[in-house]
Amino acid sequence: MRGIESHAVLPDANADEAARENFCRDLSIRLEAGLRPRLRRIYEEQVGPDLRKSGKEPGFREIAKAMRHVPLNKYWYRIRTDNQDRMYRVTGDLIDRQLETLAAKARATPKNLGSLTIDPAFKMPAYLTEIDIHRKPGGYHTEYIEDDVASGAQYERTISVHNMGSQGPRNDDPGHSIADWIKQKFPALKPKRILDLGCTIGNNTLPYAQAFPDSEVHGIDCSAPCLRYAHARANALGVDVHFHQMSAEKTSFPDGHFDLVVSRILLHETSRAAIPNIFRECYRLLAPGGVMLHCDAPQFDEFDAYQASLRDWDANCNNEPFMLTVYTLPLEEMYADAGFDRSKTFRDYAPSRFFRAHNTDPNATRSGGRYFFTGAAK
Ligand SMILES: C[S@@+](CC[C@H](N)C(=O)[O-])C[C@H]1O[C@@H](n2cnc3c(N)ncnc32)[C@H](O)[C@@H]1O
């Protein structure tokens, strides 16, 4: 596992702050690699057989409900929840200490590459404002000072802790790994324009600009502080990307403007009503022959009911209310409803580039060393 790689706008962590971040990350590794396998054994040896006495195979909701009574699982939920809050306290403290400095650093970064368009009339969707997603105080969007970049800066530090360092020092491994997959599966695709929906700080947008250097790459998000940080960060890293404050449900780009539209862990953070709007918008935005790809955690039909039941913590303790619904949606059917040809839909896993290079223990990663996605060609 490696730490985060520095660049001109990355918030600093002093030795104490770095130690606190490392504590959160190491505790997460312990919870995933150390305790999760023991919980599975308890399910297989005790809870599962008890549930099957009814004569029926238990579903993920029943399993989650039964597992909530298991003492070791209660402990896991409590420690995991505390660690999530601790992670936001630790990264929040270091951001608060340099709030003005970070905005000044982002302002001062030379902006020769790409562009930033913030919409002063933008209306945040209720699903982003009604709860503190992931228990992060203020969610993605709250702004504290003029030209604020705090949420973006905090996102960069927290994902490194949250992903336990397994997505590389720039947290861009999903983008690189999926771009590799696209190049392999669609060798004729030479995208003139690429759009990343829900790009946050562009960590997984920049890899597309690097993989397709002749493309014009755009990233959209609802969060102004994340987009300001993304634009400064992309310039600090020398990558040309255009960032816009827009909703993926309805953008202002013309019809057929893009050859590749991607998202990474966007869908589960929206809502049941937003999802069909996003798929219809993807269809409208794609040129004929273009490709849409949404990378998120695996749909529940990808694995067994016990594994699906593990999302109970995210949904009920980590303010991810839409999670249990989104992972049971018939996405391929919904792509067809949005206009895509059902025979051109796909789902697969992209092997992690970082994982292959560093031989990481799959149990100590959240992704298991590969990234699931679904999509469709137009
Ligand atoms: C988990 S983050 C995505 C992270 C990023 N793509 C990555 O790979 O690390 C989800 C992002 O989606 C954004 N988002 C949620 N709903 C959106 C919408 N309707 N349109 C655009 N962005 C949205 C949020 O503001 C947030 O920045």
The best mutation among 266, 282, 295, 320 to test binding of ligand 1, ranked by most ligand atoms within 8 Å of the C-beta, falls on 266
Query: So what's the pLDDT on residue 362?
Result: 65
Looking at domain 1-378, its CATH class is: alpha beta
Nearest to 267 by CA among 245, 242, 297: 297
Pocket of ligand 1 (CB under 6 A): 125, 128, 140, 174, 197-200, 203-204, 220-223, 226, 247-249, 264-266, 269-270, 274
Quote the pLDDT of residue 2: 57
CA-nearest of 31, 52, 334 to 164 is 31
- 37 CA distance to ligand 1 middle (Å): 31
Residue 369: per-residue pLDDT: 86
Q: b/e map of 185-199 (b: 16 or more CB within 10 Å)?
A: ebeeeebebbbbbbb
HSE-up of 333 (CA within 13 Å, CB side)?
A: 3
Determine the angle formed by the axes of helices 150-162 and 99-108, rounding to 10 degrees: 100
State which ligand 1 atom lies nearest to the alpha carbon of 140: 25
Distance 359 CA to ligand 1 centre (A): 29
Pocket of ligand 1, candidates 132, 172, 201, 222: which has the most ligand atoms within 8 Å of its Cβ, to mutate? Answer: 222
Q: Which residues of the chain have pLDDT under 70?
A: 1-2, 359-367
pLDDT tens readout for residues 102-147: 999 999 999 999 999 999 999 999 999 999 999 999 999 999 999 9
Give phi and psi for 265, each to the nearest 5: 45, 40
The atom number, within ligand 1, closest to the CA of 171 reads: 9
pLDDT tens for residues 309-357? Answer: 999 999 999 999 999 999 999 999 999 999 999 999 999 999 999 887 8
| C-alpha 191 – ligand 1 centre gap (Å) | 22
Residue carrying structure tokens 């002063």: 120
Give distance in angstroms: CA of 38 to centre of ligand 1. 33
* Both structure tokens of 257: 């403007």
Cα–Cα distances in angstroms (integers) from residue 221 to residues 8, 64, 200, 243, 270, in the given order: 22, 33, 6, 8, 12
In this structure, the residue with its CA closest to atom 12 of ligand 1 is: 198
pTM value is 0.96
